[in-house]
């Protein structure tokens, strides 16, 4: 028996509306050991987090008991909700063979009084024979869903469809069996409603597949085999058998099978599937490469560092899937409405039936009004409004190298006022280099650099690594350091070859009690050139200065300008000196900056802004940025940074592209706008359509078509985000080369099919109405008392 220990994802089928989502969540939450259960209607998944080990079978059983089908989703499995659409399409085609003639013949008799063989009784039985397989074949999914929901005392959309069409069908069957020629049959209503709603479900399912395209695109990029070098021989093996430490070769045109570090060779690598950037990058010895990316020119030998679920590709797919399965806070309103929606609609339908029957004395009109109310109501659109937009938006972000951790982040981006940027690694390359070495007294340049590098060698700080790299580049022998001590964001000290070596910024040396006034001109000269100054002392005496320079990213100014266009105030924080910070600030065009900032100061600054009532986004890449990232309303982490920073980020930018910050915020806001548009449509549609139907002003045939279109329109509006992606990228100053479809092209299938279905419905209705009323020069229908139903 398989046991889930932390979290498990289930594929859940059989859900038809927001009420189903609520019921599945409730069923899973009742299983002992389950902490939270979040169901995504659009992706047909349930993500369950656990507080204690729970057998997967227990979770599946809970879903099955609630009336749905479930199975666990395995790591790397590709699921496409559109797969279910094939079965629906086959059902539609089979049902259409009976449904089309049934609708036409029913309209012919009810509207124009025309019938086969000049025999209305035989005509009625033929229509009944055609309508029956549609009612119980195509309608079986609705009956099954209705029965399952009623058993749980939680009626859903299936109850409305099954109840509405059954009333029309049973009443019409009674008319035929009783041989009543003085009243209408409504087989055209029951058949056409089922046809339209099933057609809507089909296009809804195909649209879900399009919305979940992002995860499938990521997983499709994975290589299936790897060329591993073992005992001097190249062996082609399944990628699953590659282990950490294995050496493998990648040739031009091959996908890199697992994450690794290049040990030999140089190649250009297309990383667009991870970053969204079409321009290949050069990778050589020491550089990291990632599974799924495509080697182009050149051959490289790579050592595997992460395989399977630990690879960047699988982690990204997992992050995207978790984001798509999360719920925005705005969804709470939908869940509350969904809990009472169907019962309220049934009450309104019953009230309409009684009002027409008792007040107007027209029970037939009352039945038609009740059926129209039941059919036109659409909880399905409510259920799709939020998850469909989230799936498309987060999927687009992943394709552009922007990962949004959950749906709540989307809602928080709307209120942002300020973006705080850490300088090193965010605005600058994060790879400082020693630009100048200034020595004092009898100290030589090489000896000063050697001692400083030895003292700095135990540290992982970027400035420390830069000093060590400079010494290695000059071929200096670096001694081992002992008694190493680090002073956070200020410097270090250590014993090297029996001598005390201290290295750090001016503030640290003032704490040590050094008088730096004699060398202040030299320090200020380096700072004026935009360099970070490291003071080096040996045995208590200042021996020299190291000037380090970190180049500004080429697109940093463009990124800041894009943030300004979004109406955001941009602030830069740095632990660097005032002059170096001012030089960078002027170069990139930020609104303000603060220099000499310690990690705790970054956190305090974010809190200070929030205390002013401002909503703050913080972007950074280092361990010292993590507290501020976690405190900010939206934390934006560069994936080139530390794991701690990435874990603290709400939005993760692949390859640390600062220009993607504005694009991430713009895409998040566009996704939230789409959610609001969907909800406005879903609520507005029901608020307007239900009273019109209750008033007897809506033909049930058109009610069914409207209901189907409401769900399709929500999906189409969500997919419209794909057409906006290029504009959002270019507005942020980023390249966008992927082909973009227009709104019609992206939804051509549903629009054409629904249009043809409307023609099929309206043309016969117009023709038979014309015959009945003598529009075509005839004397009218055979039964003057017939009216359009």
> Which residues are catalytically annotated?
422
Q: Which two tokens stand for residue 642?
A: 């530390």
Question: What string of DSSP letters covers 370-385?
Answer: HHHHHHH--HHHHHHH
Number of H helices, E strands in the chain: 28, 28
Tell me whether strands 3-4 and 54-55 are parallel, antiparallel or unpaired: antiparallel
- Give strand pairing partners of 161: none
CB neighbours of residue 14 within 10 Å: 20
**Residues in CB range of 230: below 8 A, 6 or more apart:** 246
Single out the residue of 567, 247, 530, 574 nearest to residue 424, CA to CA.
Answer: 574
What angle do the packed helices 748-773 and 700-719 form, to 10 degrees?
160
Q: How far is CA 659 from the centre of its chain?
A: 20
Cα–Cα dist 162/165, whole Å: 6
- 707 touches 200 (CB < 8 A): yes
Tell me whether strands 491-496 and 259-265 are parallel, antiparallel or unpaired: unpaired
Cα–Cα dist 72/25, whole Å: 15
Single out the residue of 382, 381, 378, 403 nearest to residue 331, CA to CA.
Answer: 382
- 14 touches 20 (CB < 8 A): yes
CB neighbours of residue 643 within 10 Å: 11
Residue 770 burial class via C-beta count within 10 angstroms: exposed 0-12, middle 13-18, buried 19 and up: middle
Q: Which two tokens stand for residue 731?
A: 């507005």
Q: Maximum CA pair distance of the chain?
A: 121
Sheet with 402-404: strands ordered across: 402-404, 651-653, 634-638, 616-620, 418-422, 569-573, 592-594
DSSP state, residue 239 = G
DSSP state, residue 357 = I
Q: Which SS3 state, helix, strand or coil, does residue 76 take?
A: coil
**Residues in CB range of 454: below 8 A, 6 or more apart:** 471, 478, 479, 480, 481, 494, 496, 497, 501
Q: Which two tokens stand for residue 650?
A: 């709400």
Q: Determine which helix (DSSP H) or strand (DSSP E) holds 462, and give its type and residue range.
A: helix 462-473
- Give Cα separations from 596 to 99, 513, 527 (angstroms): 76, 19, 13
**Residues in CB range of 62: below 8 A, 6 or more apart:** 27, 28, 30, 31
Cα–Cα dist 41/711, whole Å: 12
- 391 touches 42 (CB < 8 A): yes
Single out the residue of 500, 506, 498 nearest to residue 523, CA to CA.
Answer: 506
CB neighbours of residue 77 within 10 Å: 11
- Region of 286 please: left (phi>0), alpha (psi -120 to 50) or beta: left
Place of tokens 């010895």: 285
- 551 touches 429 (CB < 8 A): yes
């Amino acid at each position: 028996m398989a046991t889930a220990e932390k979290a498990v994802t289930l594929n859940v089928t059989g859900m038809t509306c927001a009420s189903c989502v609520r019921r599945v969540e409730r069923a899973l939450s009742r299983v002992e050991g389950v902490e939270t259960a979040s169901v995504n209607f659009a992706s047909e998944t349930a993500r369950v987090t656990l507080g204690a080990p729970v057998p997967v079978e227990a979770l599946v059983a809970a879903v099955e008991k609630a009336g749905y089908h479930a199975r666990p989703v395995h790591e790397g499995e590709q699921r496409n909700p559109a797969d279910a659409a094939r079965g629906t399409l086959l059902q539609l085609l089979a049902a259409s063979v009976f449904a089309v003639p049934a609708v036409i013949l029913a309209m012919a008799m009810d509207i124009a009084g025309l019938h086969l063989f000049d025999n209305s009784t035989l005509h009625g039985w033929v229509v009944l024979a055609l309508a029956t397989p549609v009612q119980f074949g195509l309608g079986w999914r609705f009956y099954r869903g209705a029965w399952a929901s009623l058993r749980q005392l939680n009626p859903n959309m299936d109850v409305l469809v099954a109840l509405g069409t059954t009333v029309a069908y049973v009443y019409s069957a009674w008319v035929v069996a009783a041989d009543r020629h003085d009243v209408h049959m409504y087989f055209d209503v029951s058949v056409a409603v089922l046809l339209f709603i099933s057609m809507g479900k089909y296009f809804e399912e195909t649209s879900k597949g399009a919305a979940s395209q992002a995860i499938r695109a990521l997983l499709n990029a994975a290589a299936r085999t790897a060329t591993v070098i073992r005992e001097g021989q190249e062996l082609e093996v399944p990628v699953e058998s590659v282990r950490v430490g294995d050496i493998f070769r990648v040739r031009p045109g091959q996908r890199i099978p697992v994450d690794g570090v290049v040990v030999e060779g140089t190649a250009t690598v297309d990383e667009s599937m991870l970053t969204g950037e079409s321009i290949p990058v050069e990778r050589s010895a020491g550089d990291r490469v990632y599974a799924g990316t495509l080697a182009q020119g050149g051959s490289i030998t790579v050592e595997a560092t992460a395989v399977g679920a630990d690879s960047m590709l699988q982690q990204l797919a997992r992050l995207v899937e978790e984001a798509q399965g999360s719920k925005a806070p705005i969804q709470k309103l939908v869940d509350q409405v969904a809990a009472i929606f169907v019962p309220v609609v049934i009450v309104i339908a019953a009230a309409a039936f009684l009002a027409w029957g008792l007040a107007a004395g027209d029970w037939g009109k009352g039945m038609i009004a009740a059926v129209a109310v039941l059919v036109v109501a659409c909880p399905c659109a409510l259920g799709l409004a939020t998850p469909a937009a989230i799936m498309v938006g987060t999927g687009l972000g992943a394709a552009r190298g922007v990962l949004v951790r959950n749906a709540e982040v989307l809602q928080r981006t709307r209120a942002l006022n300020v973006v705080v940027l850490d300088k090193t690694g965010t605005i600058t390359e994060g790879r400082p280099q020693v630009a100048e070495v200034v020595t004092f007294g009898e100290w030589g340049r090489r000896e000063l650099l050697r001692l400083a590098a030895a003292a700095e060698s135990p540290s992982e700080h970027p400035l420390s690594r830069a000093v060590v790299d400079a010494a290695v580049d000059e071929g200096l022998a670096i001694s081992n350091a002992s008694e190493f001590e680090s002073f956070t964001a200020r410097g270090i000290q250590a014993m090297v070859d029996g001598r005390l070596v201290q290295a750090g910024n001016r503030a640290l040396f003032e704490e040590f009690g050094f008088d730096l006034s004699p060398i202040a001109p030299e320090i200020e000269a380096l700072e004026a050139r935009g360099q970070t100054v490291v003071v080096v002392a040996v045995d208590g005496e200042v021996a020299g200065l190291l000037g380090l320079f970190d180049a500004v990213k080429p697109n940093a100014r463009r990124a800041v300008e894009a943030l300004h266009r979004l109406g955001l105030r941009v602030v830069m924080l740095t632990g660097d000196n005032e002059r170096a910070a001012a030089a960078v600030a002027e170069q990139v065009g930020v609104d303000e900056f603060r220099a000499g900032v310690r990690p705790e100061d970054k956190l305090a600054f974010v809190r200070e802004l929030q205390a002013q009532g401002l909503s703050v986004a913080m972007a950074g890449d280092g361990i010292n940025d993590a507290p501020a990232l976690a405190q900010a309303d939206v934390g934006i982490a560069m994936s080139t940074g530390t794991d701690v920073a990435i874990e603290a980020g709400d939005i993760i930018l692949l390859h640390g592209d600062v220009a993607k910050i504005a694009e991430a915020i713009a895409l998040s806001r566009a996704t939230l706008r789409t959610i609001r548009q969907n909800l406005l449509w879903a609520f507005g549609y029901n608020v307007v359509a239900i009273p019109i139907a209750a008033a007897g002003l809506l033909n049930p045939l058109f009610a069914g078509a409207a209901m189907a279109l409401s769900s399709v329109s929500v999906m189409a509006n969500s997919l419209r985000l794909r057409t906006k992606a290029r504009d959002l990228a270019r507005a942020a100053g980023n390249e966008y080369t992927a082909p973009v479809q227009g709104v019609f092209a992206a939804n051509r299938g549903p629009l054409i099919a629904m249009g043809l279905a409307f023609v099929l419905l309206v043309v016969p209705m117009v023709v038979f109405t014309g015959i009945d009323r003598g529009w075509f020069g005839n004397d009218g229908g055979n039964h003057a008392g017939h009216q359009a139903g």
